[in-house]
Structure 1
Amino acid sequence: MNIKRRLALRFVFQLSIAGIVSLLIVVLSGLWVIRQYAEIQISRDFASVGLERLVESSKLTTDGFEFEPGLLERVKKNNGWLQSLDENGQVERSYNTPNDVPKQYTSGQLMEYWLNKNAFPYEIYLWVQKKEGKLFTLIYGTRNELTPLFEQVKAEARFSGSELVIPEKAASRLRSLGGFVQLLDSNGAELASFNKPKGVESRYKIDDMVVRTLYFYRFDDRILTSYEEDTGRTWIVGLPNITSGKVDRGWLPPEGKVLLTAMTVMFIALIIVFTLLSLWNAHRFGVPMLHMLAWLNSLGKAEFKEPLDRRGIAVSRKRSGEWRSRYRVFAEVLYSIDHLAATLLRDQKLREQNKHLREEWISGITHDLKTPLSSIKGYTHMLAEDSYEWSLEEVRKFSRIMLEKAAHMDTLINDLAMSYRISAGMQQEDGERIELNEWLGAALERAGASPSFNKERIRFVPADKPLYAKLHKPWMERVIANIAANVWLYNPPETILTVKVEEVEDRGQVALSFSDNGNGMDGDTANRLFERYYRGTDSASSTDGSGLGMAISKGLVEAMSGEITVRTYPGTGTTIRVTFPIMK
């Protein structure tokens, strides 16, 4: 799997996890909001919502019904009490029930209490349901604080000037319970009020009091009203729906606060999730990138080793050599940088070696040029000497020697010029179609005719059929001369050179093999045979070679779209193989 796919999978996986976590946060927030809304509804109207929940969560045991402890705590928090009756009106179970509440009821008595026709200090609510084959009657009661306060205010309160005068006992009770009193005129506008909290209307429409009385559980307060026929005024006494204390009358209703809290927590949680994801990505992907940049910066400073940690171990690897998990996704990049570092290090070493070899080669070439030049200079001084008269035969002898040395110098200079032409990218000459058997035989005859060589030591094995290639004859002759010279210069006098022409059918090529039975070469010499600044022997060991012959041969062969290779082992001889595309 390449780096593109690995990164794509990593990011898809991370975004999927982040999406799942975000969805989970949203779902949990939604569930929390629903639960809080239910708690608000239970707090406001436990008689309707709470009793239903209480029945639904109940379990039938041998001792009767057992209720959810959390809802029982809500009964106590609302200063209420609970009784469970059997079919005969006998109390089976009770919770937080005051002593003045009956332990058994008759049908008529229960109806009197429920309809408030009998003096009873509690307001009761009934829930009758059949569950698990048994009739379920549940009584929920809360102390009736509103009715006594309403009766007391209606009997004793009065309107004086612009203020309401409330009896001290009723006023104290109203303050402690968070209740209030309002006096309205005939148009529903407020004339005066006592202890009125924020959020309570100062003007009522004709249907407002009806709605607030019938659907009291929808509002923060429950009210009772009294109308005065003679004055047209209306008295209102209200208490919070949450009987355990005052209603929170902030700038938002409880539902709004719950929703705002949920959204705030959800937003903070999402920010934390994505911040952690960003930090994890920075650690997971940023650290390897910084490491790779540091490594590339080191390469620019010619420091080729991967940066190490304090323990001397490569930062990207474990002690076992495996990639660390955060670096594994960038394996291809790290391999490429490692390969680049190895290549740069090898090139640096080669440059240093080439510099050393070039200095040695220049020293050798200088020696090779100075040696014939010294001979020419010496014979020239001899001929120019006035004190001695040389014979015609001696002059001709000196002249031949000087010509040979000059020719050798010319060869050295030509080889040097050819070497630099090849390294500069020599243009390919137009070749011609040559039949290799005939042409190579003639070229070897010419090479063997040279005084430096012995044609008896050359064996030619032509192909069994005519083979053609497109070659530039002068270049090819130079290649053959250089290969032959290399054989004679660096092998014993009895060395035999075998030249063979053959077809490489599976590759569509023709091959020229130059094999000798001489000394052979070691691996280092064979690998560097075609380098410009490398000599397998001391450059001063012979005055007949320039040390550039094989490098020039390689350049010329490649300029003719060919390929040259060497196969050799010490003591077994050498085979140089030159191949060209075959022509039909």
Structure 2
Amino acid sequence: MKIKHRLTLRFIFQLVVSGIVVLLIAAACAWWILLRLADMSVTQDFTSVGLERLVESSELSKDGIRFDPHLLEQVKLNKGWLQSLDEHGRVDLSYNTPKDVPLNYAPGELVDYWNKAKPFPYDIYLWIQEKDGKLFTIIYGTKNEMRLLLEEINQHPAVTPAGQVELPASLQERVRKLGAYIQVLDASGSEVASYNRPASVPQKYTVQELVLRATYSDRYGFRIASNYQEDTKYTWVMGLPLSSGDATGEQGLIPEELRIILIGIAAMFGAVSIVFLLFSAWNAHRFGSPMLHMLAWIESIGRGQYNEPLDRTGQPLSRKRSGKWRRRYAVFADVMQSLHKLSTTLQRDQDLRQQTNMLRDEWIAGITHDLKTPLSSIKGYAHMLAAENYEWSTMEVRKFSSTMLDKSEHMDTLINDLALTYRVNARIQPPEMEEIELNSWMQEMLTHRMVHPSWGAERIIFKPAEVETTVMLYPPWLERVVHNITANALMHNPPDTRLTISIRRDAQAMGGMIVFEDNGMGMDEVTANRLFDRYYRGTDTSVATEGSGLGMAISKGLVEAMGGTIQVETALGQGTTIMVLFCLRIDS
């Protein structure tokens, strides 16, 4: 799989995971908001919402009915009590029930208590519902001390002209203990008198405001009860704080429901932000570390240090001790492998360049030696001829001149080889290709143009092909190739070495082949691999005065310039075979 596909899949996977995490956080916050709103509704209106949830969450077992412990705790916090009745009005389960509450109800008795037709110190609420084939009758009661206290106060009404309510000491004590207050309103809703009224409670009411305060006590912080006296046209109002010690009587700036929603939303955004920060840090470590490592590697390559940066233990940062990729580097495996290949190539090229420079220096030293040797001879003979105190004979002058001419030709050969090797390196093209028949051309070449006194005619054996082999070549270049290969084979091997030159037809490759085989010493692998390098000499320049050490490099360049190939097969002690292959142009 390519790196772009791996990165695409990795980023898609991360986006999906992050989306799922965000959805889970949002779901958790929404669930918390719903639970809080439900708890608040149970707290504020247990008589309707709480009783319904109590019945819905109940379970029937062998021991009887069981209610949700959380809702039972809410009953206790509301200072209420709970009873479950069977079909006959008997109590089969009770919770937090006071001693003055009956354990058995007659049908009419329960109705009178519920309708307040019969005195009862509690406000009761009924919930009747069928569940699992059984009819539930749940009684929820709360002690209405405020209404009872208001009824007692109405039995001793006393309003002073100064706007004070006179109460017996026992009633004053009960009012203060409850933290309640009393107001007396006239027919217009204005306060006539009050007792223990907080400053936050208004002194004048409209009909609508009094109804709202009585209905939605949670919005104002007080539960109120009222009693209208027909004879005096006074309305007696008693208020009781919803929570002990909280008598502000005013709702906060933000309603409780909205506060819960805002808290939930803030918690969701906070959790999502934390998750994204952690995800960003993890993502930076996951993808940033390999990128920084690759950048550091590239910088080290720019400084000429090609090996991958290592950790403290000397191991490559991208791999484990077993050699496998570390997880965060696996996605960049293609890039890391490319960097490794680049480093290997640059290191090899640097080593080759250093080796080439060293060989070039050695070659320059050798070629300088080869040039100085004939130049020294020429200079010496020139000094001898120019000497005034000695007269040379005609024979001696001719001998000196012949030697100087030979040395000059050798220097010319060296200079021409040096120039030709640079022309070959620049990939020159042959002036004009000619059609030649290799059998006859090679026979003529060996007979007339390649006679050398140090080689000996008997050391070269020619084997023509059985059929004519015609190719398109540039004859002067081919002559130079044959001369260089022949000279290399005969000059750098023992005197008894024989060279066989064969012309062959290669039907499979559709070409003509010139094969040079000698039975000499052969070459080792290093020499064979560097045989055609420009600055490589397998032997020291002092072995022979002829030759420039560039012959094989020139031969390879000329063969390739004419569209051919050259190969070598050799081993120490087994001789050397050099094959020169050209494309066959005309078959006969």
Both structures adopt the same fold (TM-score exceeding 0.5)? yes
**Paired residue for 1:568?**
570
- Identity rate, percent: 52
Cα–Cα, structure 1 residues 82 and 430, in superposed 2: closer, same or farther, change >3 Å?
A: farther
Cα–Cα, structure 1 residues 89 and 544, in superposed 2: closer, same or farther, change >3 Å?
A: same
> Could you say what secondary structure the match of 1:429 adopts?
coil
More displaced 10-residue stretch of structure 1: 292-301 or 108-117: 292-301
State the shift of 1:263 in Å: 1.2
Contact 2:159 2:193 in 1 (8 A): no
**Paired residue for 1:419?**
421
- For 1:129, the aligned partner's letter is Q
Gapped regions of structure 1 (runs ≥ 5): none
Gapped regions of structure 2 (runs ≥ 5): none
- For 1:313, the aligned partner's letter is Q
TM alignment of 1:98-137, pairs within 5 A: 98-137=98-137
**Paired residue for 1:4?**
4
State the shift of 1:34 in Å: 1.0
Cα–Cα, structure 1 residues 153 and 510, in superposed 2: closer, same or farther, change >3 Å?
A: farther
- For 1:141, the aligned partner's letter is G
State the shift of 1:389 in Å: 3.4
- For 1:554, the aligned partner's letter is K
- For 1:4, the aligned partner's letter is K
**Paired residue for 1:343?**
345
Of 195, 198, 208, the residue aligned with 1:195 is 198
Contact 1:435 1:466 in 2 (8 A): no
**Paired residue for 1:356?**
358
CA distance in 2, matches of 1:457, 1:345: 45
Contact 1:503 1:511 in 2 (8 A): yes
Count of aligned residue pairs for this structure pair = 580
Contact 1:129 1:136 in 2 (8 A): yes
CA distance in 1, matches of 2:176, 2:246: 10
Question: Is 1:428–2:435 an aligned residue pair?
Answer: no
> Could you say what secondary structure the match of 2:542 adopts?
coil
TM alignment of 1:371-520, pairs within 5 A: 371-423=373-425, 425-437=426-438, 438-451=440-453, 453-504=455-506, 506-507=508-509, 509-520=511-522
State the shift of 1:488 in Å: 1.5
More displaced 10-residue stretch of structure 1: 340-349 or 82-91: 340-349
Contact 2:129 2:137 in 1 (8 A): yes
- For 1:62, the aligned partner's letter is K
Of 537, 548, 551, the residue aligned with 1:549 is 551
> Could you say what secondary structure the match of 2:81 adopts?
strand
Cα–Cα, structure 1 residues 409 and 573, in superposed 2: closer, same or farther, change >3 Å?
A: same
Of 318, 326, 332, the residue aligned with 1:324 is 326
> Could you say what secondary structure the match of 1:346 adopts?
helix
Could you give the per-residue CA deviations for residues 487-545 of structure 1, whole angstroms, max 9, x where no partner exists? Answer: 12211233333334445555555543332222111001011111121110112211111
**Paired residue for 2:90?**
90
CA distance in 1, matches of 2:418, 2:243: 109
Contact 1:182 1:196 in 2 (8 A): no
More displaced 10-residue stretch of structure 1: 349-358 or 539-548: 349-358
State the shift of 1:204 in Å: 5.2
CA distance in 2, matches of 1:543, 1:76: 121
CA distance in 2, matches of 1:232, 1:225: 13
More displaced 10-residue stretch of structure 1: 30-39 or 506-515: 506-515
**Paired residue for 1:28?**
28
More displaced 10-residue stretch of structure 1: 215-224 or 451-460: 215-224
Could you give the per-residue CA deviations for residues 11-59 of structure 1, whole angstroms, max 9, x where no partner exists? Answer: 2222222111111111111111111111111111111111111111111
TM-score (normalised: structure 2): 0.87
Could you give the per-residue CA deviations for residues 300-345 of structure 1, whole angstroms, max 9, x where no partner exists? Answer: 3333332222222222222222222222222222222222222232
Cα–Cα, structure 1 residues 115 and 357, in superposed 2: closer, same or farther, change >3 Å?
A: same
CA distance in 2, matches of 1:184, 1:565: 124
CA distance in 1, matches of 2:190, 2:458: 140
CA distance in 2, matches of 1:211, 1:286: 63
CA distance in 1, matches of 2:401, 2:275: 96
CA distance in 2, matches of 1:543, 1:498: 24
CA distance in 2, matches of 1:26, 1:522: 77
Contact 1:447 1:481 in 2 (8 A): no
More displaced 10-residue stretch of structure 1: 526-535 or 298-307: 298-307
> Could you say what secondary structure the match of 1:540 adopts?
helix
Of 537, 540, 553, the residue aligned with 2:539 is 537
Of 293, 296, 303, the residue aligned with 2:295 is 293
State the shift of 1:67 in Å: 0.8
Question: Is 1:309–2:311 an aligned residue pair?
Answer: yes
Contact 2:436 2:473 in 1 (8 A): no
> Could you say what secondary structure the match of 2:543 adopts?
coil
CA distance in 1, matches of 2:12, 2:529: 50
Cα–Cα, structure 1 residues 298 and 125, in superposed 2: closer, same or farther, change >3 Å?
A: same
CA distance in 2, matches of 1:279, 1:86: 63
> Could you say what secondary structure the match of 1:119 adopts?
coil
- For 2:39, the aligned partner's letter is E
State the shift of 1:144 in Å: 1.3
- For 1:144, the aligned partner's letter is N
CA distance in 1, matches of 2:410, 2:484: 14
CA distance in 2, matches of 1:232, 1:504: 135
Could you give the per-residue CA deviations for residues 383-435 of structure 1, whole angstroms, max 9, x where no partner exists? Answer: 23334433333332322221111111001011112223334x24323442524
